[in-house]
């Protein structure tokens, strides 16, 4: 099998005012025909710059040394025409955010057709073609490619492609947009597909479907895949080999199963230890001390040395050897990494005989790059608040709606029969003639959140999670039903008193979008304090205290959001959310965009704050590993309707509803081999045309005729409850 891609000693640099940034500093690896290789590492490690260098899109960076041989062509020395031919025939790239790569003014079919046209004739790219000038562009060619565009959309799993081929990007869901981007990339029938974080922002089932499509396409087409991700579960699920990068350099390479089961480099071990699935629920996660350094100016030594407690003087300067292993390589000067160990975590392959175990946070000092775990957070909230009860008792009596807070306690939040409908119309004439349609975003939800507990709200994109959160916070008003805070009915935010508004804090999914880029950290945090009339002295004192609480020094008070890392800016968002001592904090995807190491720090912070400030959390996340780690109870939402509610342990270990089981089945695991599969195909149905009976029946593998005729009611399934005529046996 030939090396389709060979990268040797690649150096890509950026010229800045502060100096030369060595984003990629001597990277070497290869990808064979039909092979899937994953590149992992924290943000700032050089993964995306490496990928862009491969396809000649490194500008404003510059390749200053090394070679990239792609199907026999040396990319750094290639002419523009050769690069166009490579991109049209040999390699394609799928980017993380399809909204940034899809043109909003052209429909999806035209954009796929454009890629087909360029593949057929790499020299056909002209300004008028891009502008689609009707008098000059060859419109007939675009029409010729329409049928092939529909076929490609079907291959990547877009339902009803004939109807969606004329849709614009904003008319598609996040998963559909990512599939459309994949269809554009596949239009050139590439030998190599580079996918840069293709599933990071997607829910679990959509991620599983995208990964399954990539596997199938790779097998059917013999296509090689270079996957860039910070999700090690995704790597385990799909990759043959893995390349671990840090500080612009390769730390370790090898077969995926060996690297994940028996990591040799301290950095690889540290990444694996940060995963929520390696630590018991509600326990503090191990973290990697420090941050990824900026590689500015002349560098020497191991880039991980400043964060590695095993580092010696030799690691801090000089050349670090790259040691060839039986099945890969590791760049480390410490012989302890390669010594045989009796407690190796690998299988029976001979290449694992000299394996070193994944170090835990409790191992001897100097053998792990992970900070020692502090005291654990109580798993039973009754230990941390008076009058509390365990999560197993929070379902209420047997005739309840499976949503009650602990008996005898006043729930912080209670929703009773809450529904939310949005009226849709296509213009003024529809409004005049009454031709409006109703979208049922939330449908008859009753739910309570007890004091001091964490309720995890899960479901696919479009299931109504964010709308339900908006009803709690008052950003939306319910069409019917009632929202109560501390037993008192409340309306939308505009009708709530200042004290009631202060009782709820919110942390949004993307803090860069929710924080004003023109405000300093201090101004951002003091904004709610100003609204309550706090004087300047109290505000400054409060900011100082809040920064300390969230783990930031006072020097950050004068900085702006763009000067902060992802983890730091999320800490600022958390500080703002708790500035007025709220009773409830709504966390909408609080760690979805963060690296695993930063994610661990934020989750530890949230657990600490809950323990110290007696906070109540409503956590929305598509990462079910995160939900399992932090939540006391789980509420599963589908098409705006609750499917299952119960204690986290019971729901994760013994799901009663087929939809819950499908969500859990879709979680990628480090074991690979069948993980990350999903028991149904296709997107979630439109709320404009919801199925009769059970809303999940159109995708349920166990559906019976009764499921379409009769709407299921709540049934008890052990300590949890579900809405299913035929609940899974526990």
User: Do 249 and 340 form a contact (C-beta atoms < 8 A)?
Assistant: no
User: Do 651 and 644 form a contact (C-beta atoms < 8 A)?
Assistant: yes
Per DSSP, the three-state class of 258 is helix
Tokens of 726: 């035929």
Q: Determine whether 363 is exposed, middle or buried from the number of CB atoms within 10 Å of its CB (0-12, 13-18, 19+).
A: middle
Cα distance between residue 87 and residue 104, in whole Å: 22
**What is the 3-state composition of the chain as percent helix, strand, coil, each rounded to the nearest 5?**
35, 20, 45
Q: What CA dihedral angle connects 327, 333, 337 and 338, to 10 degrees?
A: 50
The values of phi and psi at residue 485, to 5°, are -115, 120
Cα distance between residue 44 and residue 48, in whole Å: 9
CB atoms within 10 A of CB 384: 14
pLDDT at position 506 is 95
CB atoms within 10 A of CB 130: 12
Domains, the chain, in order of start with CATH, read: 3-330 (3.40.50.300), 413-631 (3.40.50.300), 648-729 (no CATH)
457 - beta bridge partners? 620, 635
Strands annotated E in 349-412: none
CA dist list (Å): 180 to 36, 114, 185, 597: 21, 13, 9, 31
User: Do 358 and 286 form a contact (C-beta atoms < 8 A)?
Assistant: no
Task: Tell me the pairing of strands 62-70 and 73-74.
Answer: antiparallel
User: Do 273 and 359 form a contact (C-beta atoms < 8 A)?
Assistant: yes
Indicate yes or no: pTM above 0.75: yes
Among residues 593, 443, 442, the alpha carbon closest in space to that of 512 is found at 593
Among residues 175, 147, 171, 145, the alpha carbon closest in space to that of 161 is found at 147
Question: Do you find a cis peptide bond into 60, omega within 30 degrees of 0?
Answer: yes
CB proximity list for 489: less than 8 A, separation 6 or greater: 482, 483
pLDDT at position 471 is 96
CA dist list (Å): 682 to 205, 212, 595, 699: 10, 12, 29, 8
Per DSSP, the three-state class of 727 is coil
User: Do 580 and 532 form a contact (C-beta atoms < 8 A)?
Assistant: yes
Tokens of 659: 């939809």
pLDDT at position 658 is 94
User: Do 199 and 231 form a contact (C-beta atoms < 8 A)?
Assistant: yes
249 - beta bridge partners? 246
Tokens of 355: 């394996």
Cα distance between residue 527 and residue 522, in whole Å: 9
Cα distance between residue 478 and residue 469, in whole Å: 11
CB proximity list for 438: less than 8 A, separation 6 or greater: 421, 422, 423, 424, 688
pLDDT at position 476 is 94
User: Do 607 and 282 form a contact (C-beta atoms < 8 A)?
Assistant: yes
Buried b (16+ CB within 10 A) or exposed e, 160-191: ebeebbebebeebbbbbbbbbbbbbbbbbebb
**DSSP code, position 175:** H
**DSSP code, position 86:** I
Cα distance between residue 317 and residue 301, in whole Å: 4
Cα distance between residue 716 and residue 718, in whole Å: 6
User: Do 92 and 73 form a contact (C-beta atoms < 8 A)?
Assistant: no
| Residues of the chain with confidence (pLDDT) below 50 | 126-128, 130-139, 340-402, 674
User: Do 410 and 449 form a contact (C-beta atoms < 8 A)?
Assistant: no
CA dist list (Å): 355 to 261, 277, 363, 708: 9, 22, 16, 54
445 - beta bridge partners? 418
Helices (H), 479-565: 498-502, 511-514, 521-531, 536-549
Helices (H), 222-306: 232-238, 256-261, 266-273
Buried b (16+ CB within 10 A) or exposed e, 350-361: ebbebbbbbbbb
């Amino acid at each position: 099998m030939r090396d389709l891609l060979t990268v040797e000693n690649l150096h890509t640099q950026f010229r800045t005012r502060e100096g030369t940034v060595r984003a990629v500093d001597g990277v070497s690896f290869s990808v064979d025909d039909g092979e899937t290789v994953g590149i992992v590492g924290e943000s700032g490690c050089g993964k995306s710059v490496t990928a862009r260098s491969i396809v000649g899109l490194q500008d404003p960076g510059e390749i200053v040394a090394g070679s990239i041989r792609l199907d026999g062509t040396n990319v750094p020395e290639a002419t523009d025409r050769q690069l166009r031919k490579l991109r049209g025939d040999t390699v394609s790239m799928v980017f993380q955010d399809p909204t940034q790569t899809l043109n909003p003014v052209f429909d999806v079919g035209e954009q796929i057709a454009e890629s087909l046209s360029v593949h057929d004739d790499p020299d056909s790219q002209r300004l008028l073609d891009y502008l689609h000038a009707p008098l000059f562009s060859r419109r007939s060619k675009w029409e010729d490619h329409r049928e092939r565009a529909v076929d490609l959309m079907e291959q990547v799993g877009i339902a009803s492609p004939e109807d969606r081929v004329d849709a614009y990007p904003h008319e598609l869901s996040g998963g559909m947009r990512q599939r459309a981007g994949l269809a554009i990339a596949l239009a050139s029938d590439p030998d190599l597909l580079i996918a840069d974080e293709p599933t990071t922002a997607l829910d679990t089932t959509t991620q599983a479907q995208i990964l399954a499509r990539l596997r199938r396409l790779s097998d059917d087409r013999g296509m090689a895949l270079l996957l860039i991700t910070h999700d090690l579960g995704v790597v385990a699920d799909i990759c043959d080999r893995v390349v671990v990068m840090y500080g612009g350099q390769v730390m370790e390479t090898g077969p995926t199963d060996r690297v994940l089961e028996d990591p040799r480099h301290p950095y690889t071990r540290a990444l694996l230890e940060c995963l929520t699935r390696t630590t018991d629920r509600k326990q503090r996660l191990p973290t990697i001390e420090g941050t990824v350094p900026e590689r500015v100016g002349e560098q020497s030594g191991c880039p991980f040395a400043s964060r590695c407690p095993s580092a010696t003087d030799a690691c801090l300067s000089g050349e670090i050897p790259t040691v060839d292993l039986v099945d890969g390589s590791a760049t480390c000067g410490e012989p302890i990494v390669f010594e045989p160990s009796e407690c190796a975590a690998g299988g029976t392959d001979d290449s694992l005989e000299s394996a070193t175990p994944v170090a835990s946070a409790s191992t001897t000092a100097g053998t792990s790059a992970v900070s020692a775990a502090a005291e654990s957070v109580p798993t039973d909230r009754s230990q941390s608040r008076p009058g509390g009860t365990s999560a197993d008792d929070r379902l209420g009596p047997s005739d309840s709606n499976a949503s009650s807070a602990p008996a005898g306690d006043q729930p912080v939040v209670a929703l009773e029969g809450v529904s939310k409908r949005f009226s849709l119309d296509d213009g003024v004439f529809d409004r005049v003639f009454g031709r409006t349609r109703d979208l049922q975003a939330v449908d008859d939800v009753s739910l309570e959140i007890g004091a001091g507990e964490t309720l995890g709200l899960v479901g696919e994109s479009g299931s109504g999670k964010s709308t339900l959160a908006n009803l709690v916070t008052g950003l939306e008003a319910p069409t019917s039903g009632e929202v109560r805070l501390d037993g008192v009915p409340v309306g939308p935010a505009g009708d709530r008193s200042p004290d009631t508004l202060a009782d709820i804090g919110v942390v949004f999914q993307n803090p860069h979008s929710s924080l004003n880029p023109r405000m300093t950290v201090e101004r951002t945090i003091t904004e709610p304090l100003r609204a309550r009339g706090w004087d300047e002295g109290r505000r400054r004192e409060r900011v100082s205290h809040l920064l300390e609480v969230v783990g930031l020094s006072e020097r950050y008070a004068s900085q702006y959001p763009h000067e902060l890392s992802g983890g730091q800016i999320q800490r600022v968002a958390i500080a703002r959310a708790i500035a007025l001592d709220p009773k409830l904090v709504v966390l909408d995807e609080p760690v979805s965009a963060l690296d695993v190491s930063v994610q661990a720090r934020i989750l530890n912070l949230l657990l600490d704050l809950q323990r110290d400030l007696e906070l109540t959390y409503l956590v929305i996340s598509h990462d079910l590993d995160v939900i399992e780690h932090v939540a006391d109870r789980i509420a599963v939402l589908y098409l705006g309707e609750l499917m299952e509610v119960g204690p986290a342990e019971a729901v994760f270990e013994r799901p009663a509803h087929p939809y819950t089981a499908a969500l859990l089945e879709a979680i990628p695991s480090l074991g690979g081999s069948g993980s990350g599969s999903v028991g149904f195909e296709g997107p979630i149905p439109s709320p404009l045309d919801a199925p009769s009976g059970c809303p999940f029946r159109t995708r349920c593998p166990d559906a019976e005729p009764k499921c379409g005729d009769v709407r299921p009611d709540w049934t008890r399934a052990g300590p949890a409850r579900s809405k299913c005529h035929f609940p899974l046996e526990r």
